[in-house]
Amino acid sequence: MGLAARGWHGVVALIGLVGLGAQVIALINGENYSVLGPVMSWWNFFSYFTILSNILVLVINADLALNPSGRSSTLWRVLRLNAVVNISVTGLIAFTLLRRLPEVQALVGLGRLSDTLLHYVVPILTVLGWLLFGPRPRFTIQTVWLSLIFPGVWLVYTLLRGAAVTWYPYPFVDLRIIDPLEVLINCVFIGAMFVGFGFAVLQVDNRMKPLFSKEHADV
């Protein structure tokens, strides 16, 4: 089990690295890079929830490839839950709200590869890896509530930055094209998804067969 877990998490981390690398190359070679300039282009890049979630997934999976029993610290457990929930929400929103956008449909080459890996392949493999290899149990109600800090801070940052630089990473929070009430409704709905997914993961974590007991986890 340990060897299989190491292999799975290592492959997920590698796929995430390939997806992020492809996105970086596509960014540098894109037309907007010269128009916006390097500083704004990289700032925008790291403002996407997709990018932040995939970086987190990469780090957590790389850690699990080295130590499949995980860690027992509160911070690690919160970040592990964030990795599973954030990437799940990322994949679901990409499939339901973003995939038919003209700019997404127009993606080719490395842009298309990155979009596929980061929005679909990594989310599916991350959730499957958690179900197959855990480690569990690792989560509590407190873990779920603490995990909401990540998307909450991102949302506040996104709205404040968007108002300052008139750029938003996603259309459902873009106050330039939709009214504030619609943005608020979207935020409440997506926030409910994070809460729902978090508690769903908690239930599965507590009900499924334990894998890699807490007592043997590193701190």
Instruction: Collect all residues with Cβ–Cβ distance below 8 Å to 24 and sequence separation of at least 6.
Output: 45
Residue (of 29, 61, 73, 82) closest to 202 by Cα position:
82
pLDDT tens per residue across span 58-111: 999 999 999 988 888 999 999 999 999 999 999 999 999 898 899 899 889 999
Cis peptide before 135 (omega within 30 of 0): yes
HEC profile of the chain: CHHHHHHHHHHHHHHHHHHHHHHHHHHHHCHHHHHHCHHHHHHHHCCCHHHHHHHHHHHHHHHHHHCCCCECCHHHHHHHHHHHHHHHHHHHHHHHHHCCCHHHHCCCHHHHHHHHHHHHHHHHHHHHHHHHHCCECCCCHHHHHHHCHHHHHHHHHHHHHHHHHCCCCCHHHCCCCCCHHHHHHHHHHHHHHHHHHHHHHHHHHHHCCCECCHHHCEC
Instruction: Collect all residues with Cβ–Cβ distance below 8 Å to 107 and sequence separation of at least 6.
Output: 115
Confidence of residue 31 (pLDDT cuts 50, 70, 90): confident
Model-wide pTM > 0.85: yes
Confidence of residue 214 (pLDDT cuts 50, 70, 90): low
Q: How far is the CA of 41 from the CAs of 56, 104, 204, in angstroms?
A: 21, 18, 39
| Residues 99, 97: Cα–Cα separation, whole Å | 6
| CB of 34 closer than 8 Å to CB of 145 | no
pLDDT tens per residue across span 40-52: 999 999 999 999 9
